[in-house]
Structure 1
Amino acid sequence: MPAFLDHDFLLDTGIARRLYHEVAAGLPIIDYHSHLQQGEIAERKRFRNITELWLGGDHYKWRLMRSAGVNEQLVTGAASDEDKFRAFCSVLPLAAGNPIHHWSHLELQRLFGIDLTINATNAPRIWQAANSRLAEMDCWSFLDLAKVEIACTTDDPADDLGQHAELANSALKTRVLPAFRPDAAMRCNKPDFPAYLQRLGGVAGVRITDFASLVEALAVRVRFFHAQGGRISDHAIDLALPPGEITPALCEALLSRRLSGAELSEAELGAFQRGLLQALGKVYAQQGWAMCLHIGAQRNNNRRRLNTLGPDTGYDSISDFTTSAGLADLLDALDAEDQLPKTLLFCLNPAMNEVLSTLIGAFQDGATRGKVQFGPAWWFNDHKDGNLRQLQTLAAHGVLGTSVGMVTDSRSFASYPRHEYFRRLLCRQLGQWVEAGEYPDDEEALGQIVRGVSYENAKHYFGL
């Protein structure tokens, strides 16, 4: 029986072990979607202890602790850092099958060289050993240890990217690149939307008075991001995109209503967002960028906790809205003008796996390998079974070997072992197919798939 988290963790065939240890393990990481903060990287942030590193802002772990009955004082409250850490360690053994159990142990081993099982008994020893190691580390240390070649942050169009410029001229081995996240321009019902347009227009040198000038200002910022190394945009699609034609005149009318003080209905907001995506898709295509669409989050379900703790604190879930017709029409409208950019469709609802993995095949043009991608298992799907389902579904309906692979989607500098986790599962799946006689034991072909999905495809696809 395999030991917990041993050398061959998740690798259940000889083929899988060969592929992982000889091909995947040594490859660098391209993390094309994360929520790392450029300022923290520029200042070479140090962590006062493992609680700040592990539990500071990590809503994955916060959800787990609350579900296990940990009082909020020990999650986000005023309890001491050591007490919070001990509380986490005491309940983690209950989370069998949860990826956080695997990730946390991988992080201890890979980043700190600590092989102890995380539990209440070992918590004091882990606390002391990890903190001793952290005293000699800063956030650059984690990037170096994980061999992160490229890390993309998530940045507002109005950001001056000054710290990205600092990093580009620093001694950091990892290239830290901006990614364009115009959510504030998309969510026009937000109370601060008019003020945001003033800020955006100011940095773009464009007076935003209508839809056309909004698109113009965003296009100016896309070109600015491009000059700073940006090649990727990122959009949250949290409501259904409507099917049918979305004209510039409709978008002008909707924005005019909003700027006059009215609030758009959900259907109108969906139409506005789809119209803005169509306009920006053309800008991305002209720059050779990739457009990432993160589809299916239902955010801030708990109003009481939103009011006390704010957003992104662990109260989101999977949405079950249907978006396939509107999404197809968005891609078709861009393709009809030969303006469809490289596009990644991230799916939060696993019920949409087949929907999106078949939709991508309708918009491949042969010019770019895997031009429209079914993105990796994301957020609530990022666990062992979710990753395997994503790989299997893409393989069944598309070409697995063209996938651009995994992302951390994380705010934590300790999260890079998730790439190892994904690579082990990729090798596991390929090994099982070979062992079952469903794929030949072709060392060259298997190695090409593993190298491509783990590293090379992302490098070529994004032009990095």
Structure 2
Amino acid sequence: MSEPWALHPDRALPADPATRPVAREIYAATRDLPLVSMHGHVDVTVFSRDEPFGDPAQLLVVPDHYVTRMLVSQGETLQRLGLGDMAETDPRAIWRRFCAGWKHFRGTPTRFWLEHELVQILGVTQRPSAETADAIYDQIAARLAEPAFRPRALLDRFGIEVIATTDPAWAPLDEHAALAADGYGDRVLPTFRPDPLLRLDRPGWRDDVARLAGASGVEVTSYTTYLEALRTQRARFAAAGARATDHGHPFADTTPLEDVEARRVFDAALAGTVTAAEARAFGGHMVFQMAAMSAEDGLVLQLHHGVVRDHANGPYNAFGPDLGYDIPVVAEFTHALRPLLGAFGHHPGFRMIVFTVDEDVYSRELAPLAGVYPSLKLGAPWWFLDAPDAMRRFREATTETAGFSNLAGFVDDTRGFCSIPARHDLARRVDAGYLARLVAEHRLELDEAVEIAVDLAYRHALAAYERAGVAQ
């Protein structure tokens, strides 16, 4: 009989025998720290309803576009993985397809997260395969039925000190109010996401504006009332505990328009005559306006840019957005952020965190920008860069220019609740390895490396998301 599946305690630590013992010591200082998960996409209803997770497929496969995109690249279809109108409805069949495709995840960060979830959290003792799929399914299903695996119980088990959801700008925040009534108001926080409202040529834009009007109580009939409705909702989010806004804008441009031009373009959008060029210019203008509002209310502005969303038209039309066909492109920030940073880069009431998937731009543009503008922090590598080697490259690309103090700490950016501890664990291991090398090269003392590791894993994330002028 083969040995039970177990994970090596030194996984993702340096192979070099001179640095590995130092990395172990640094990692030991961060391994059990609380988790700060301030940029994620776990639905708030997971916590407000606190219901058992449905089944292994719904927990680990269907909602995770990292998983589904890899399987689709190997010939599976989104329907066979449980998505769309004609979706597979048998969760065991979906799980079997996932297990049969386990080998395709070798070498990917998804493999690291899934291993952690399966072994460390769910107690699985066999590697996934076509042969073991049913036995693993039954084992996980039994575990998910236990009260200890309800979402709120897992907050404690995972050591999550605070987690932020991402909510549309028109959200009524009823679920967050219910959580606050149950004593979770300081632990599960909303995040204001206005993206659909800032893209005037987006299908359904006027319907979304109507939702904003309904939620805010402000009748949106003009550019002025549009801004008023956004401010009203931001205030409601802040009152509900929000610390940040989130902007996945297609362009990083932040050039403001003259008021008269902004009014004209907004009126054209209401009339259905806005052009693509006008909508793009208005989008950049509104990111600037969001910064101006952040300088007023203290909400941290998060901007992530550098992908073409929904690259494949067929799957987008059939299944909707955010199912894995988002492909990185070259990003530019030096010119794009100049108007915003010129106005607010030194403003004491403004904070901004920038994310991207373009590795080159971190060393070329973002680290130098963060190394001089006090309002700007660098977010952790986003998406494809949250892998061990890419994480190391990020540290090497940014530290020499921005240092460690201009980083926002680790941000997990996930929809998969159970992957949160796995992602944080990987980041802490990689940082321990990077810092151990600096110690071995006598560029840091060990006590400094331990202090930095704790900063990156915990303290920086808390500090980066403090609302300006509001003590947490």
TM-score of the pair, normalised by structure 1: 0.91
Among all aligned residue pairs of Structure 1 and Structure 2, give the percentage whose two residues are the same amino acid. Answer: 27
Q: Distance in 1 between the 2:452 and 2:93 partners?
A: 45
C-alpha displacement at 1:234, in angstroms?
0.4
Residue number in structure 1 paired with 2:325 = 315
In structure 2, relative to structure 1, the CA distance for the partners of 1:147 and 1:189 (3 Å cut) is same
CA contact (8 A) 2:36 2:462 kept: yes
Unmatched segments (≥5 aa) in structure 2: 15-19, 467-471
Q: Distance in 2 between the 1:263 and 1:270 partners?
A: 10
C-alpha displacement at 1:4, in angstroms?
7.5
Aligned residue runs from structure 1 range 322-333, under 5 A: 322-333=332-343
Matched, 1:18 2:28: no
Letter in 1 for 2:258: T
CA contact (8 A) 1:278 1:333 kept: no
Residue number in structure 2 paired with 1:427 = 432
**Which shows bigger deviation, 405-414 or 71-80?**
71-80
Unmatched segments (≥5 aa) in structure 1: 365-370
Aligned residue runs from structure 1 range 3-82, under 5 A: 5-12=7-14, 13-21=20-28, 23-76=29-82, 77-78=87-88, 80-82=90-92
C-alpha displacement at 1:262, in angstroms?
0.8
How many correspondences in the alignment? 450
Residue number in structure 2 paired with 1:281 = 291
Matched, 1:163 2:175: yes
CA contact (8 A) 1:180 1:225 kept: yes
In structure 2, relative to structure 1, the CA distance for the partners of 1:172 and 1:118 (3 Å cut) is farther
Q: Distance in 2 between the 1:57 and 1:448 partners?
A: 36
Q: Distance in 2 between the 1:207 and 1:172 partners?
A: 32
Residue number in structure 2 paired with 1:391 = 395
Q: Distance in 1 between the 2:61 and 2:74 partners?
A: 15
Aligned residue runs from structure 1 range 315-394, under 5 A: 315-335=325-345, 338=347, 341-354=350-363, 355-364=365-374, 371-394=375-398
Q: Distance in 2 between the 1:82 and 1:115 partners?
A: 19
Letter in 1 for 2:393: R
Residue number in structure 1 paired with 2:239 = 227
Residue number in structure 2 paired with 1:413 = 417
Q: Distance in 2 between the 1:255 and 1:427 partners?
A: 50
| Residues 76-99 of structure 1, C-alpha deviations (whole Å, 9 max, x = no match) | 331521121121112222332111
3-state SS of paired residue (1:344): strand
Q: Distance in 2 between the 1:173 and 1:413 partners?
A: 18
Q: Distance in 2 between the 1:172 and 1:157 partners?
A: 21
C-alpha displacement at 1:71, in angstroms?
4.2
Letter in 1 for 2:24: R
C-alpha displacement at 1:103, in angstroms?
0.9
Residue number in structure 2 paired with 1:238 = 250
Residue number in structure 2 paired with 1:458 = 461
Residue number in structure 2 paired with 1:249 = 260
Q: Distance in 1 between the 2:449 and 2:125 partners?
A: 32
CA contact (8 A) 1:143 1:413 kept: no
| Residues 375-415 of structure 1, C-alpha deviations (whole Å, 9 max, x = no match) | 10111222112211222222121121442222221111111
In structure 2, relative to structure 1, the CA distance for the partners of 1:110 and 1:169 (3 Å cut) is farther
CA contact (8 A) 1:179 1:231 kept: yes
C-alpha displacement at 1:191, in angstroms?
3.1
Matched, 1:185 2:181: no
Residue number in structure 2 paired with 1:203 = 215
Aligned residue runs from structure 1 range 135-146, under 5 A: 135-136=145-146, 137-146=149-158
**What CA RMSD, in Å, does the superposition of the two structures yield over aligned residues?**
2.1
3-state SS of paired residue (2:248): strand
| Residues 416-463 of structure 1, C-alpha deviations (whole Å, 9 max, x = no match) | 1111111111111101221233x23332x2222111111112222322
3-state SS of paired residue (1:414): helix
CA contact (8 A) 2:331 2:358 kept: no
CA contact (8 A) 1:242 1:323 kept: no
CA contact (8 A) 2:295 2:349 kept: yes
Q: Distance in 2 between the 1:328 and 1:360 partners?
A: 12
CA contact (8 A) 1:201 1:208 kept: yes
Q: Distance in 1 between the 2:292 and 2:254 partners?
A: 19
CA contact (8 A) 2:37 2:160 kept: yes
Q: Distance in 1 between the 2:186 and 2:111 partners?
A: 28
CA contact (8 A) 1:24 1:451 kept: yes
In structure 2, relative to structure 1, the CA distance for the partners of 1:107 and 1:150 (3 Å cut) is same
**Which shows bigger deviation, 323-332 or 229-238?**
323-332
Matched, 1:259 2:259: no
